[in-house]
Amino acid sequence: MCIPPNITHPYLHCFHSPHTMEASTGLFTGTDNSNELVAIQGHDEPKPVKNLDGQLCEICGDSVGLTVDGDLFVACEECGFPVCRPCYEYERREGTQVCPQCHTRYKRIKGSPRVEGDEDEDDVDDIEHEFKMEEEKYKLMHREMLQGKMSSGYDDENAKSTLVDGELPISSYSVGEPGGAKLDNKERIHDWKLHQGNNLIETDASDDPEKNMKDETRQPLSRKVAIPSGKLSPYRMMVVARLIILILFFQYRIFHPVSDAIGLWFASVICEIWLALSWLVDQLPKWFPIDRETYLDRLSTRFEPENKPKMLSSIDVFVTTVDPIKEPPLVTANTVLSILALDYPADKISCYVSDDGASMLTFEALQETAEFARKWVPFCKKFSVEPRAPEKYFSEKIDFLKDKLQPTYVKERRTMKREYEEFKVRINALVANSIRVPAEGWIMKDETPWPGNNTNDHPGMIQILLAHSGGHEGNELPCLVYMSREKRPVFQHHGKAGAMNALLRVSAVLSNSPFVLNLDCNHYVNNSKVVREAMCFFMDIQLGNSIGFVQFPQRFDSLDRNDRYANKNTVLFDIYMRCLDGIQGPVYAGSGCIFRRKALYGFDPPKASKRQRLVQVHSKQDENGEDASVTGTDEDNKQLLKSERNLESKFGKSALFMNSSLTEEGGIDPSSGQAALLKEAIHVMSCSYEDRTLWGYEVGLNYGSIASDILTSFKIHTRGWRSIYCMPKRPAFRGTAPINLTDRLNQVLRWAVGALEILFSRHCPLWYGFNEGRLKGLQRIAYINSAVYPFSSVPLLIYCLIPAICLLTDKFIVSSVGTLGGIIFISLFISILSSAILEVRWSGVSLEEWWRNQQFWVIGSVSAHLFAIIQGLMTAFSKFNTNFSVVSKAPDDDGEFNELYTIKWTALLIPPTTIIIINIIGIVAGFTDAMNSGEHSWGALLGKLFFSLWVIVHMYPFLKGLMGRQNRTPTLIVIWSVLLASIFSLVWVRVDPFVLKTKGPDVKQCGISC
């Protein structure tokens, strides 16, 4: 066991093999010359991988086996590509029915069941000609089988039966005596299949369990689950009905103008048309929602055989953090601990924590976390506890004794809780000591200055806090690495996207796992089997190669019971994402996503017409435990790839990194020594590495937008990859969300600005990727909607002001409504309500959650989206840069939701407040005018009041948050809102611009009596 001591020297360190990492003897950092090696420790050369040769199946690694005649089984007569019978049968029944190497269609082999397409071949059906039995012998056997006297159908000396992948057992037994009458061929075969086949299947499972297990490994690891038609079909019908009613509605509105308020009528019709188109664009991708189901037991059976090395793919986990004040170290520590305790082979996990703030507090907290992990991880795996974030586990008010059978559990849980409380005290002490920054900067324990004292100008730092061999025997720990990329003032660092790309390069040099998991520091693992859930898709033989990433829904803790500001985003995660999964896949949501590394590198998915030589997506191992690296392309394809692309201009000047990008199954290049790996680790994390490369443009996470997650997934989908939305019964990840109104509006503002940056860039989804034709039409519409949705704020803002204008001017946007008009208006209202109810019915979202999303959509549109349009236009047509501000991710420790009632000044609060005040003034003015005008004016007032109350009801969460717990609102907000509302109301009444002005003589002056 290697325990990292205290910090001693500021040098850079890296490890040399994904499974032979050793904990470093201190913190290591680069110098001004990023390529200079300061210290190199002893190392072992990686073991060369061993390829599978001989008569082994090139798909599953099992023996090819023999035919029913005892000859060597040959699946393809053209090229002789070695494939075993189960893989051959599976490919014919479920796959493309062609050889993976020469792409020749598989012909039916003696003893194999027929599949679609075999009728075109001229071969003779051996099943019908192998069983030439006489009637008496067949009847005797038939009677014995029905009486249960035969266990296997035939004697071992005279017969040999073969069970092919759960299909009809094929027997080479032959009986007959001359002169016997024969049964009709078809009838005999039918009866034989019905009786003898079933009997043989039962006995085969008991006589040969290994063969039955092999048959189980051919089953799919996941499947699509369609939404019940009884729930989905009424919803689709109502959407169509709503569209038809909208057409009738606009026909009525356009052909029935309001003559005495033509301007008001015209503005309302334009707004209604825009909002209707926005609804239609949002609705089209929702046509094909699906669910998915995974089979974790099949994954274990196939890739975790007993008494053999694990064959699951390795994974690198990235955790990003910036500010230890807004992202407390205890929150980050819980996330890291939940990752290290994943229910996955420890030697397959490497966790990288990127500290973009170069904070000594974060580094020391991670050191304490590594020490506590030596106790926490074995406890979690021993007792299978959930969740595996200790803060959440010990704070849950549940029966922790449920399903716990070990008698020592209570005692060890009590001990572990005490250990965690002591761990929290140590972390809190570090936080308290970090409040006052010394004048000379932070000093490490060996009196060496902390290299990150200047957060904007510091070298790269890295330390291995845990190695794979860091635990006790039988309690191995995953690898834990702390790193902080180099920063210099003259370079652009691109926020989180830049940190993620640095993690991609460093991890490629150090461990190079084929899959990477991205988590924010406040999103802990709530389901320890989450990686296995994703591997059910990635490691599927037939579909895995085309999957670029698997996205999980985001769930949140510490929210108020009513979710006032729709922080759960249930409409996005429980409705919209599931609908996209039925097209080409969900978008990347910024966290909780497992990527295929090659998809992030900008490679295209394998084409179905040009299948790779191997279709496995997992790393194989032989019985001795040695890695067997599997390349997915032939050497000729690799040479072609090198000749077609300038890898240096794409990936940068790193030979080791370029070589790692060409390995299909990941792993470290065996020809590289530790010195070379150490040098490249220093080099690839330097801030100048990305100069004159395609990093951030075609490789890694994309730059150019705050919403780099949406842009990255868009680029991946345009290359032809598909994504998967995985919703396990136990939520995969949980985190914290901003419950403060100001923080929530700033978060929405950042998303909207990022969307507009994509719209005004060269990656605009309106036209980008059309030449390739790999992005499906409905998927493109979904991306267009994600880019243009902020523009709906303008018509929505106008529509929220129109009710107040109508009340102040005593005009209305609709002329006198007749019978036809009344039917259309009522039908439209019913269709809107019905489609909402049917949508929540098939999706499982509660009506309250759906309504909260609708309310905050209006609030965000008239505030954050409106400012985003201004900021986005300034960014697109000027050199104005948008800054990324980290939202506070500290949990609400006191449980009283103090942040929920805190009002922080921001200009985003002014437009919604103004709208509320204007509508309140309009309601008061309307009632006053109705009382002065008589009873005949009350009917017209009701329609105006309905629309005005519609606005106020949608604004209710904002109004409630604005008042605060003590009904106190910042004076500045009140003054500005009242002032703007008063000026607007007075000017409007005076000008009355939407009322038609009539010209003619003044009747009072001319004396005309009307």
Q: Which of 709, 743, 810, 992 is catalytic?
A: 709
Please write the tens of the pLDDT for every residue from 357-378: 999 999 999 999 999 999 999 9
- Which pLDDT does position 670 carry in this prediction? 67
- Dump strand ranges (E) for 394-470: 461-466
Q: β-strand 222-226 against 290-294: which pairing, if any? A: antiparallel
CB-CB neighbours of 228 under 10 Å: 9
Q: Which of 316, 355, 356, 810 is catalytic?
A: 356
CB 502 within 8 A of CB 485: yes
864: which DSSP letter? I
Write the CA distances from 371 to 112, 421, 602, 961, integer angstroms. 58, 14, 38, 43
What sign does the CA torsion over 83, 85, 89, 94 have?
negative
- Which pLDDT does position 16 carry in this prediction? 37
Between CA 20 and CA 16 the distance in angstroms is: 7
Would you call 692 exposed, middle or buried from its count of C-beta atoms within 10 A (0-12, 13-18, 19+)? Answer: exposed
Between CA 865 and CA 791 the distance in angstroms is: 7
Low-confidence ranges of the chain (pLDDT < 50): 1-20, 34-35, 37-54, 122-186, 188-189, 192-207, 609-633, 643-644, 967, 1010
Q: Which of 182, 168, 171 is nearest to 137 (CA)?
A: 182
Write the CA distances from 423 to 378, 417, 426, 892, integer angstroms. 16, 10, 5, 20
Amino acid at 211: K
Binding-site residues for UDP-alpha-D-glucose sit at 326-327, 356
Tokens 């926020």, residue? 495
Between CA 774 and CA 720 the distance in angstroms is: 5
Question: What φ, ψ does residue 779 adopt, rounded to 5°?
Answer: -65, -40
CB 169 within 8 A of CB 162: yes
Write the CA distances from 69 to 72, 170, 171, 172, 460, integer angstroms. 9, 11, 11, 8, 65
What sign does the CA torsion over 910, 913, 918, 919 have?
positive
Question: What φ, ψ does residue 678 adopt, rounded to 5°?
Answer: -65, -40
Would residue 356 show up in a list of annotated catalytic residues for this protein? yes
- Dump strand ranges (E) for 107-232: 161-162, 170-171, 222-226
Binding-site residues for Mn(2+) sit at 496, 520
